[in-house]
C-alpha cells in the first residue's frame, strides 16, 4: 500500500496535556490486544501491519489530539459510505435518494446480496448494495468527471488533497465479484440504470481513498460541526443532511454489531474493512481509530475497544444526557430586594421595599431549547399573575434554537395591554431572539427592549414610584425636603436659599469631570444624571444615577480634593449648586448647617456603600 503521505502533525499546546496523556495511556494499554484477523478477501489489504495502531480526536474548532500511528495511511473502505450518502442528499435531494436506497437495518452481512423487494431498493446505504446504488447518483457526464467530483468532496471534508491507493483499487476491481454480482442484480431489477462497471469503478475507487486517523477525525469533526469543516471553515453539508447521515450511522454503521454498539458506545459511527472506525460526538468532536485486525463481523478489534473506553470515560453515550433544564433561570429577584443604581430618597426606598415585589427580574442562562424554554415560559406565566412588570435578562444566554424561539414568541405575544409589562435586556442585534423583539423582523411591539437590566429596573422603579409621589413637581424640592438638609431649621434653610444658584443642563451634557477641582456640590431639582467611572480598558461604567431630591458631588464638602467620577445629565436637568466656600461661610454663624449636612451625607454614603456591596455580590 502507498505510504507517501507524511505523518499528520498534531497540535502541541499546553491544552493537549490531559487528553493526549489519556489517549497515549489508552493506546499503550490496548496495543498488546492481538486478537482478530486482517481482511484478506481483498488481497492487497492482507499486507497491512497488524500493529499499526493510531487514535485521533478532532474538535469542532479544529484542534487535533493524536496517539500512535495517527498519520499512517490506510484505505477508507466503508467509512466512505456515510459521506457519499451525504453527497447524494446534497446533490439530488432526499426524495430522489430514497427512491434509490432505503433506511432499514438489514441484520445481514455488509456484502449480502439481498434487496428489499417490497420497496425495490437496497435496504440502506451502509451495506455494499446501498452504497453502490448511491455511487450511481454521483453527478458528472463522464467517469472522469464523476471521479473528480467525488475526490473534490473528500478533499473538502479532510481539508487536504487525498489520493487513491491504486494497488488496493486494482485488487478490489480484480476480485470484487460479489460486488459485481450485486450491481448486475440491481441492473437486472432496474434499481440502477447506468453501466454496472462504471458504477463499480467509482465505488471501488471511493473505497480505495487513502486516509489517516487524523483525516478521519477531521471528517468526523465536520459532521460534529454541523457540516462545516473545522479547519478550513468551508460549509460542506447542511445540518439536515448531517442528521440523516448520523441516523443511518447509528442504526446501520457497524455491520452486524450495530445494536451492541448502540448499547455500549452510543455514538453514530462507521467502520471499514481496512481497520478504520470513526465516530461522531455531535456538536463536540470526531474520533477515529486505525488498527487492521478485525473481529468476526468485520470491525477493528482495537477500534471498538478504544471507542468503548472513550465513550464510557467521558460520558459520551447519546442517551447519557446531562442537559440541565432546571438551571435556565440563574437567578430571580424582585425590586424590593435589589434596586437599580438610582440613588433614592429615604421615602422612595421605603416604597420600593414595600411595593418592589411587583417588579420581577429573571436572569436566564445557557442555551434555550425546548426543555429550557418551557421552564422559562412557565415561570413567566406564573409571575404574570402577581407582577406589574417582568424583566428578562438574557446576558448569559447566547443561543436559542427554533423550537425555543417559537415558544418564547407565543409567550411574549400574550404580554401587552392586559398583562404586566415585559422588558428584555442584553439582546444585541445578532442574538437569535432579536427577530422577535421590537425592531426585529417579527417584533410584537408590546415588549420593551433595553440594553441592560439596571436601566430597566430604574425605569420600572420610576413607574412604580410615580404612583406614590409627584416626582416631577419642582416645588416638592424645596430645600427643606431634600435629604441632605434634613433636620435643619427654617433659619438655616433660609441661609442656604441665599447661597444657591440653579443651573440647567441638556441631555448628555457633562456636569462634573473626573479630576477637576471639587469646590461645589449639586442637588437635582428635576431630570436625572448618571455618575460613571472610566475602567482601565477605557470603557465607561455607570455606578449610580440621581434624580430629583438627590445630591451629588458632596465629597467636595469632606476633602475638597478632585472629582473622582464623571456626571452626565441623562435628560434635561435642573440642578441647585452650592459652593463649598459659601457653606463654610454660613457655618461660621450656624455650625449646625455643616454638622447636619455631614451627618446626612454619612447616611447617604452608607446607602451607596451597601449598593456597591450588593453589586459586588451580584458579580459572582
CB of 78 to ligand GLU, least distance (A): 3
Residues 184-203 touching ligand GLU, rule: CB under 6 A, are: none
Q: Strand pairing partners for 271?
A: 277
The active-site residue out of 134, 273, 304, 567 is 273
Catalytic annotation on 81?
A: yes
Of 299 and 551, the one with the shorter C-beta distance to ligand GLU is: 299
Q: Provide the 3-class DSSP secondary structure of residue 467.
A: coil
The active-site residue out of 22, 67, 81, 391 is 81
Of 172 and 215, the one with the shorter C-beta distance to ligand GLU is: 172
3 state SS for 531-576: EEEECCCCCEEEEEEECCCCEECCHHHHCCCECCCEEEECCCEEEE
Of 30 and 252, the one with the shorter C-beta distance to ligand GLU is: 252
CB 348 within 8 A of CB 485: no
The active-site residue out of 20, 67, 78, 372 is 78
**What character string, x for contact with ligand GLU (CB under 6 A) and - otherwise, covers 200-239?**
-------x--------------------------------
CB of 309 to ligand GLU, least distance (A): 23
Catalytic annotation on 255?
A: yes
Of 39 and 412, the one with the shorter C-beta distance to ligand GLU is: 39
Q: How far apart are CA 104 and CA 258, in angstroms?
A: 12
Question: Exactly one of 59, 67, 124, 179 binds ligand GLU (CB under 6 A); which one?
Answer: 179
Q: How far apart are CA 542 and CA 533, in angstroms?
A: 7
Counting every residue written for the chain, the total comes to 620
Instruction: Read off the C-alpha cell for 510.
Output: 457633562
CB of 82 to ligand GLU, least distance (A): 12
Of 73 and 419, the one with the shorter C-beta distance to ligand GLU is: 73
CA-angle at 132, arms to 129 and 135, nearest 5°:
155
**What character string, x for contact with ligand GLU (CB under 6 A) and - otherwise, covers 502-541?**
----------------------------------------
CB atoms inside a 10 Å sphere around CB 319: 7
Of 172 and 348, the one with the shorter C-beta distance to ligand GLU is: 172
CB of 205 to ligand GLU, least distance (A): 10
**What character string, x for contact with ligand GLU (CB under 6 A) and - otherwise, covers 258-297?**
--------------xx------------------------
Burial of 230 from C-beta contacts in 10 A (0-12 / 13-18 / 19+): buried
Residues 304-323 touching ligand GLU, rule: CB under 6 A, are: none
Of 110 and 123, the one with the shorter C-beta distance to ligand GLU is: 110
Catalytic annotation on 78?
A: yes
The active-site residue out of 22, 65, 203, 257 is 203
CB of 242 to ligand GLU, least distance (A): 21
CB atoms inside a 10 Å sphere around CB 108: 14
CB of 294 to ligand GLU, least distance (A): 10
Question: Which are the contacts of 151, defined by CB distance < 8 A and separation ≥ 6?
Answer: 162, 164, 209
- Name which of 287, 222, 277, 223 is nearest 254 in CA terms: 277
Of 172 and 421, the one with the shorter C-beta distance to ligand GLU is: 172
Of 300 and 455, the one with the shorter C-beta distance to ligand GLU is: 300
Catalytic annotation on 328?
A: no
Catalytic annotation on 257?
A: no
CB of 145 to ligand GLU, least distance (A): 22
CB 215 within 8 A of CB 160: yes
Beta strands 269-271 and 210-211: pairing type? unpaired
Q: How far apart are CA 372 and CA 408, in angstroms?
A: 11
**What character string, x for contact with ligand GLU (CB under 6 A) and - otherwise, covers 123-142?**
-----x--------------
DSSP state string for 207-248: HTBEE-HHHHHHHHHHHHTTTB-TTT--B-S-HHHHHHHHHH
Question: Exactly one of 78, 210, 222, 300 binds ligand GLU (CB under 6 A); which one?
Answer: 78
Question: Which are the contacts of 462, defined by CB distance < 8 A and separation ≥ 6?
Answer: 342, 471, 547
Dmax (CA) for the chain in angstroms is: 117
- Name which of 546, 554, 553, 577 is nearest 471 in CA terms: 546
CB of 314 to ligand GLU, least distance (A): 27
Q: Strand pairing partners for 577?
A: 501, 522
* By CB under 6 A, residue 77 contacts ligand GLU: yes
Q: How far apart are CA 88 and CA 84, in angstroms?
A: 6
| Site residues, ligand GLU (CB under 6 A) | 77-78, 110-111, 128, 172, 179, 207, 272-273
Active site residues: 78, 81, 203, 255, 273
Amino acid at each position: 500500500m502507498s505510504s507517501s503521505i507524511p505523518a499528520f502533525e498534531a497540535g502541541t499546546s499546553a491544552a493537549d496535556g490531559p487528553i493526549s496523556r489519556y489517549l497515549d495511556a489508552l493506546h499503550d494499554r490496548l496495543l498488546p490486544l492481538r486478537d482478530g484477523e486482517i481482511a484478506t478477501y481483498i488481497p492487497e489489504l492482507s499486507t497491512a501491519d497488524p500493529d499499526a495502531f493510531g487514535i485521533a480526536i478532532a474538535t469542532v474548532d479544529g484542534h487535533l489530539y493524536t496517539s500512535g500511528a495517527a498519520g499512517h495511511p490506510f484505505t477508507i473502505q466503508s467509512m466512505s459510505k456515510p459521506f457519499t450518502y451525504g453527497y447524494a442528499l446534497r446533490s439530488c435531494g432526499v426524495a430522489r435518494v430514497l427512491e434509490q436506497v432505503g433506511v432499514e437495518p438489514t441484520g445481514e452481512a455488509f456484502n449480502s446480496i439481498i434487496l428489499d423487494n417490497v420497496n425495490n431498493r437496497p435496504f440502506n446505504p451502509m451495506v455494499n448494495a446501498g452504497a453502490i446504488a448511491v455511487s450511481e447518483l454521483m453527478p458528472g457526464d463522464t467517469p472522469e468527471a464523476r471521479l473528480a467530483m467525488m475526490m473534490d468532496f473528500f478533499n473538502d471534508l479532510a481539508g487536504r488533497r487525498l489520493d487513491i491507493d491504486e494497488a488496493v483499487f486494482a485488487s478490489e476491481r480484480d476480485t470484487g465479484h460479489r460486488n459485481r454480482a450485486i450491481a448486475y442484480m440491481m441492473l437486472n431489477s432496474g434499481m440502477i440504470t447506468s453501466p454496472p462497471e462504471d458504477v463499480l469503478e467509482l465505488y471501488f475507487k471511493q473505497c480505495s481513498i487513502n486516509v489517516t486517523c487524523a483525516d478521519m477525525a477531521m471528517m468526523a469533526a465536520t459532521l460534529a460541526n454541523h457540516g462545516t469543516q473545522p479547519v478550513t471553515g468551508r460549509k460542506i453539508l447542511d445540518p439536515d443532511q448531517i442528521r440523516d447521515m448520523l441516523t443511518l450511522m447509528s442504526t446501520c454503521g457497524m455491520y452486524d454489531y450495530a445494536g451492541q454498539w448502540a448499547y455500549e458506545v452510543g455514538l453514530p459511527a462507521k467502520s471499514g474493512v481496512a481497520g478504520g472506525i470513526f465516530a461522531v460526538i455531535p456538536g463536540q468532536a470526531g474520533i477515529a481509530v486505525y488498527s487492521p485486525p478485525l473481529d468476526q463481523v468485520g470491525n477493528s478489534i482495537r477500534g471498538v475497544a478504544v471507542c468503548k473506553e472513550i465513550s464510557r470515560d467521558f460520558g459520551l453515550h447519546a442517551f447519557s444526557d446531562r442537559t440541565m433544564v432546571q438551571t435556565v433561570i440563574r437567578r430571580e429577584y424582585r425590586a424590593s430586594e435589589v434596586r437599580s443604581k438610582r440613588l433614592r430618597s429615604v421615602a422612595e426606598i421605603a416604597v420600593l421595599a414595600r411595593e418592589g415585589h411587583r417588579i420581577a427580574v429573571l436572569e436566564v442562562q445557557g442555551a434555550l431549547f425546548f426543555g429550557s424554554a418551557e421552564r422559562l415560559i412557565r415561570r413567566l406565566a406564573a409571575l404574570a399573575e402577581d407582577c406589574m412588570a417582568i424583566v428578562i435578562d438574557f446576558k448569559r444566554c447566547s443561543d436559542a434554537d427554533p423550537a425555543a424561539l417559537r415558544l418564547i414568541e407565543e409567550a411574549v405575544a400574550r404580554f401587552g395591554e392586559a398583562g404586566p409589562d415585559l422588558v428584555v435586556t442584553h439582546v444585541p442585534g445578532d442574538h437569535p431572539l432579536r427577530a422577535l423583539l421590537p425592531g426585529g423582523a417579527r417584533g410584537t411591539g408590546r415588549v420593551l427592549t433595553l440594553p441592560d437590566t439596571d436601566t430597566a429596573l430604574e425605569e420600572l422603579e420610576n413607574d412604580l414610584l410615580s404612583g406614590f409621589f409627584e416626582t416631577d413637581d419642582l416645588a416638592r424640592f424645596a430645600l427643606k425636603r431634600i435629604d441632605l438638609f434634613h433636620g435643619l431649621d427654617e433659619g438655616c434653610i433660609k441661609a442656604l436659599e441665599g447661597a444657591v444658584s440653579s443651573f440647567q443642563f441638556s441631555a448628555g451634557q457633562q456636569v462634573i469631570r473626573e479630576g477637576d477641582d471639587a469646590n461645589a456640590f449639586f442637588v437635582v431639582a428635576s431630570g436625572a444624571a448618571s455618575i460613571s467611572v472610566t475602567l482601565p480598558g477605557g470603557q465607561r461604567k455607570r455606578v449610580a444615577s440621581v434624580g430629583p431630591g438627590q445630591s451629588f458631588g458632596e465629597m467636595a464638602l469632606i476633602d475638597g480634593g478632585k472629582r473622582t467620577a464623571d456626571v452626565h445629565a441623562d435628560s434635561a436637568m435642573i440642578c441647585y449648586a452650592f459652593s463649598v466656600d459659601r457653606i463654610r461661610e454660613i457655618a461660621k454663624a450656624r455650625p449646625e448647617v455643616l454638622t447636619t449636612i455631614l451627618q446626612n451625607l454619612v447616611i447617604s454614603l452608607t446607602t451607596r456603600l451597601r449598593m456597591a456591596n450588593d453589586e459586588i455580590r451580584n458579580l459572582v
